[in-house]
Amino acid sequence: MTDPLLPSAAIHVAIDRQLLDACAALQLLIAFAMLAQRRIVSLVNLLAAQGAVLAAATLLLAWRTGQGHLYVSGVLTLALKVAFLPWLLHRLIDRLEVRFDAEPALNVSGNLLAGLLVVVFAFGLAQPITHLASTAMRNAIGIALGVVLLAFLMMITRRKAISQVIGFLSMENGLFFGAMSATYGMPMVVELGVALDVLVAMLVLGVFFFQIREQFDSLDLHHLESLGERR
């Protein structure tokens, strides 16, 4: 860490915080972009970008606060969310040959406006935590919750199974970001557990998708909506 007596140290601190805030803003932008995007390959790339921003913020925070476990967490995020999971998803997309998602229920503009409302709501919800937090990134908690709710909105307006899964992963990203903003991450063992869960979930899903495709010849969730109360 830089010596606080050096005249340039204060500028370093300010730039760090600005970079962290920029990471938060980028996360929000990516979340909105996912809401509006209809090409599935672009969705996966956006997810990878989101993971990359998360990893960058984690590593920057680790460097700034000197907490060792954040380094591990950042590297883990890079390995899992930027490298492995998008690769897995791309492979799935190739083999399942999905390309586009159907037009969402509201049109794209309506979706985006709903997203705006959701973000404002999330910000209001996160106010008490922002006031109480003492971390460098407390302003980003509202944004993290906004990303979570935007991902949730994305999940409920999508028709293809794989888009819902991408929304789910995006929600996990937002949750991690929130954890980082509020508490500099969770205890290492919990983070490892969560990472393991996400990994296993994706593997289970991979198997699942093939089962669905085998049965229905498509990953459109419309086929999965036949179960009702009529039986």
Tell whether residue 21 is a contact of other proteins (CB under 8 A): yes
Shortest CA distance to 205 belongs to which of 123, 88, 118, 125? 88
Which of 99, 108 has the CB closer to other proteins? 108
Which of 42, 215 has the CB closer to other proteins? 215
Radius of gyration of the chain (CA): 19
**Polymer length of the chain:** 231
What's the first-to-final CA gap in the chain, in angstroms?
Answer: 66
Measured CA to CA in angstroms, residue 46 lies from 10, 90, 197, 214 at distances of 34, 12, 22, 28
Between CA 110 and CA 20 the distance in angstroms is 30
For other proteins (CB under 8 A), the number of binding residues is 80
Instruction: State the nearest-atom distance from the C-beta of 147 to other proteins, in Å.
Output: 11
**In the range 36-95, which residues lie near other proteins by CB under 8 A?**
36, 69
Residue in 6, 15, 105, 106 binding other proteins, rule: CB under 8 A: 15
Which of 44, 141 has the CB closer to other proteins? 141
Instruction: State the nearest-atom distance from the C-beta of 22 to other proteins, in Å.
Output: 5
**In the range 144-203, which residues lie near other proteins by CB under 8 A?**
145-146, 148, 152, 155, 161, 164, 168, 171-172, 175, 178-179, 182-184, 186-190, 193-194, 196-197, 200-201
**In the range 111-140, which residues lie near other proteins by CB under 8 A?**
112, 116, 119-120, 123, 125, 128-129, 132-134, 139-140
Between CA 5 and CA 129 the distance in angstroms is 32
Between CA 88 and CA 85 the distance in angstroms is 5
